[in-house]
Amino acid sequence: MKVNTEKRNYHHMVSSEEELLNLIRDELESAEQAELVVMAGHFMLFNDEESNCLKPGIIEEQSSELMTNRISRRVGIFPTYTWKLGIEIGKEFKDKFDETKFLLLINDWQYVPDGGSTATELRQAFYEKFTEIPQIYKQLLDESNVFDEKNILASRKHPVAFPETWLKYRFQKSAKKLVKEGKLEKKMIEDRPNQSEVTFVDSDGNYKTLISCGITGCAGEVTEMISEVHKLGHRLMLIFAPGECYSPVRTGIEIALNLYALDGMKIIIADPGGSGENSTQEIYEKIINFSVFNS
């Protein structure tokens, strides 16, 4: 089923931080919504073999050279860099919005050892200890002299974070309903008759796989994240996503705004880095996506 996406949406390619910030400023300045949610500081969990526990994939949070190098090569400065950008933008517009919240999305599955109950146990142990945001994030909030931990948006699952595994499971349940309603398509996989795919047809008529063999992609997580933010009463989001995730993030937003009929939302996306860039120069040597969606 093809979804109507004829809304006030657009896309730009940018090549400098100042250009990106100016585009964000223009969109926030024209926003009619009263509150702002900034998704920034997104990080992965990495397994530290020495301590046999999961740790945030943030360079500044590491104590061992091994973990520092591993995270530097994989994600670079993206987590802390986008957290700083989010705070900078939030400070600049503190008088425009009644409230500014920061949303911390955690990729808690990609680099978690795949060992069935072991993976579950590692995640559980991490979240039991993860009762506050990372120290570097707290420090940057405090230095802003505007925000503190009260500005962190809690999810229904966790007091300071939106875990991706939780969002994945929620979307799997939602997808069953959407398939029954004919809003998503389900088909059997030709060479694997006992397994299936759930797909979405985007505004260009392209099929996007959301669930394959029971595994939910990033688009499904983003769909549920947007839905959760809407349920919490927020209608304006600024999302800093890794560059490699831009396409599924865009698909997830299309699904959320159209299939879930989330009216009155404005979502701004930028994807500065996230694939091992360790300086802003490295980030902006690549082309950065900037998109805006309205419903």
Question: pLDDT for 128-170, tens place per residue?
Answer: 999 999 999 999 999 999 999 999 999 999 999 999 999 988 8
287 or 234, greater pLDDT = 234
Question: Do the domain assignments include residue 1?
Answer: no
CB burial of residue 63 (10 Å; 0-12, 13-18, 19+): exposed
Question: Do the domain assignments include residue 5?
Answer: no
Interval 251-263: pLDDT, tens: 889 888 988 889 9
Mean of pLDDT over the chain: 89
Task: Tell me: pLDDT of 38 over 80.
Answer: yes
Please report the pLDDT score of residue 248 as a whole number.
87
Q: What type of residue is 214?
A: G
Q: Which of 168, 175, 170, 50 is nearest to 108 (CA)?
A: 168
pTM value is 0.90
Question: Do the domain assignments include residue 251?
Answer: yes
Please report the pLDDT score of residue 172 as a whole number.
83
Give the CB-side neighbour count of residue 283, counting CA atoms within 13 A.
25
215 or 1, greater pLDDT = 215
Question: Do the domain assignments include residue 204?
Answer: yes
Tally of structural domains, the chain? 1
Q: Residue 75: helix, strand or coil by DSSP?
A: coil
Residue 22 to residues 19, 201, 290: CA-CA distances in angstroms?
5, 32, 11
Please report the pLDDT score of residue 37 as a whole number.
98
CATH number at residue 262: 3.40.50
Interval 69-102: pLDDT, tens: 999 999 999 999 999 999 999 999 999 999 999 9
Question: Do the domain assignments include residue 35?
Answer: yes
Please report the pLDDT score of residue 95 as a whole number.
96
What range does the domain containing 14 cover? 10-294
Please report the pLDDT score of residue 182 as a whole number.
80
Question: Do the domain assignments include residue 74?
Answer: yes
Q: Which helix (H) or strand (E) holds 197?
A: strand 192-201
Joined tokens for residue 294: 């309205």
Question: Do the domain assignments include residue 244?
Answer: yes
